[in-house]
Structure 1
């Protein structure tokens, strides 16, 4: 059974950082790229790999500064993460793929699908907002996030980071992630450019997600021609981990 294990992958040096990735599955299978959310790593998707693994050649990437990837000296933006992903795909000689992106990973997917030389067949995003203005109601909450508050509330993510990262600096990682979440500039959220997304898009949202509102999800659906909005009942921001069977059922064969 396919599973991301942080043992079987490799690092790619790009743009001042070392980006860790793993590939599982055969070359005759269609490629599915999985992009995780903030403070996470590729193992966050292991709960659904039993469904995806037999059908796909899966590529997991630890985003810059997280998991086994180093942060480098240039800070963190969604644009930079997207460029890292492109470098990995180029190194792997991937030309055609689908993407499943969660939260920050989904925001990166919105950017990739519009500005990339690769053929992206379809995209699924989970709990991934699309416009900086939608973060304004969350600004105060984000500004209150500190390394200590995150360690206290989510100790498992801190412990995983400390165990995996080759150059851990949790204080700096926290600062750069919060800055990225609140970035209103051109290197951050795609904003109205999402109207340029041409491939089929499934926008997935947990029914109780407190970070990606139902209104924001519906606004995105209206802007993208080939978009479908799917709500996973009884789940929060991370429905694929909370209720993996319900999540896969909600996908309803899209992938």
Structure 2
């Protein structure tokens, strides 16, 4: 098992916001144009500890802990990314933010896509990393593993950073098996975000590792839905996707190293800053 500790030495301010019946924990780091950063499943905002200093040098980074994750206690509703998107929209309103940029990884990337689809007037730019848009996109062996995620797996996860983090920060550490049950049920749901992606009205960058949970071809397909990869870009960029969208396949990156990769932070900032130049 990896010995990685998901924690951040970066100084930040942690607060709670009451949204949709949820006591949503979030931290703020740094200063500048706001960037909401959404973590992956079974993690928390602390996952981004290794790259947070890079991001917070240039941005005010807002790190929420999604429902049932990290310091945000679970409530009596499914772990549904649609609900989580509603929670983040409510957080944007709670903080009085004007179209902050949003970046999400894995589960957080799926939440970010749904947020931008449902609330285009609440999002400036979007970066979706390692977030496949159809439930059948991952490799078959990954789908098999996802089918085994339930409370019974808790005992086998005690040496993982997911378990260590949850025990350290969760309001109710004993709820870890319940979280596994609910996230297993969520992963068993079929979904297809093709139409949501095709209809995105905010500039979006799709990011994936070259050895991610789904093949690179899937993320190229997603880019095509955004008018990308269909023609030569042209000398002046006139052939680039009409909505300002972009694609990045990062070399040497897997699904399990993306969130801690300085390359991810650099590429995300380059895209977001270019859009506001």
Taking structure 1 as the reference length, what is the TM-score of the superposition? 0.87
Q: Which runs of 5+ in 2 are unaligned?
A: 1-7, 228-242, 273-277
Q: Does 1:157 align with 2:162?
A: yes
Aligned equivalents of 1:251, 1:89: Cα separation in 2: 20
Q: 1:253 to 1:115 in 2, by over 3 A?
A: same
Note the alpha carbon deviations across 1:114-151, whole angstroms, 9 max, x for none.
11164422111110011233258343221122445465
Give me the whole-angstrom Cα distance separating, in 1, the residues matched to 2:10 and 2:18. Answer: 20
Mark the CA change 1:65 to 1:52 in structure 2 (over 3 Å): closer, same or farther: same
Q: Does 1:233 align with 2:233?
A: no
Give the gaps of 5 or more residues in structure 1: none
Structure 2 residue 98 is the aligned partner of structure 1 residue 95 = yes
Once residues 136 and 182 of structure 1 are traced to their aligned partners in structure 2, the CA distance between those partners, rounded to angstroms, is 15
In the TM superposition, what are the counterparts of 1:52-201 in structure 2 within 5 Å?
A: 52-116=55-119, 118-134=121-137, 137=140, 138-147=142-151, 149=153, 152-153=156-157, 155-168=160-173, 169-184=175-190, 190-201=193-204
Counterpart in the other structure of 2:24: 19
The more displaced of 235-244 and 200-209 is 235-244
- Please say if residues 120 and 199 of structure 1, whose CA atoms lie closer than 8 Å, have aligned partners that are also in contact: yes
Q: Residues 236 and 126 from structure 1, CA distance in 2 versus in 1: closer, same or farther, beyond 3 angstroms? A: same
How much does 1:249 deviate? 4.3
Of residues 62-71 and 160-169 in structure 1, the stretch that sits farther from structure 2 once superposed is: 160-169
* TM-score, normalization by structure 2: 0.80
Alignment length, in residue pairs?
246
Give CA-to-partner distance per residue, 1:189-243, whole Å, 9 cap, x none. 533221011222111111111x222121111000013432211111200444454
Distance 2:121 2:26 in 1: 18
Q: 1:38 maps to what in 2?
A: 41
SS state at 1:179 partner: helix
Q: Could you tell which deviates more after superposition, 100-109 or 196-205?
A: 196-205
1:215 is matched with: 217
Q: Say which SS state the counterpart of residue 219 (structure 2) adopts.
A: helix
Largest Rg, 1 or 2: 2
Q: SS at the partner of 1:204?
A: strand
**Alpha-carbon separation, structure 2, partners of 1:230 and 1:150:** 34
CA–CA distance in structure 2, aligned partners of residues 145 and 109 of structure 1? 23
CA RMSD for the aligned pairs?
2.4
